[in-house]
Structure 1
């Protein structure tokens, strides 16, 4: 259940950008976590290994979306609880 909730959050770009800004500007997030996040994103952009080439139209973009979704999921997992609560990403029993 929490996976689908977070996936919906990640795909809702309007909510993802403010979350990312808060994540990187927050003093609650350790610098090491911020660096890991930056390295994941930069690594993908500098080494975009495509399983499906992008010239295959819509299907070629699917693997890009999958990798970016994975990266954003990892950033959400590294976020402090207060930030997850602010964006309603906290796990509920």
Structure 2
């Protein structure tokens, strides 16, 4: 959430006469050992009474669970694949070189 707020603050500073905010799509790269099982919806993570939910900020976010993707399929770009592999195995001590 913090980076979304920072992007919006910068946008407002750089565009003082704005009439629309930029679209920001939060994207979650997950590299845990267990498969990601939490619904990709912000409101699911919020502890709030049911009556309040219609008034709270909510959005869905794409989740890239690196552990479920075979290494060669992480990316066609070698540099990006190397970075994604580093992220993928950072939490998997038994697979580190």
Q: TM-score, normalising length from structure 1?
A: 0.27
Greater share of residues in strand: 2
Q: Radius of gyration: which is bigger? A: 2
Greater share of residues in helix: 1
Relative contact order, CA 8 A, sep 6+: which one is greater?
A: 1
Q: TM-score, normalising length from structure 2?
A: 0.26
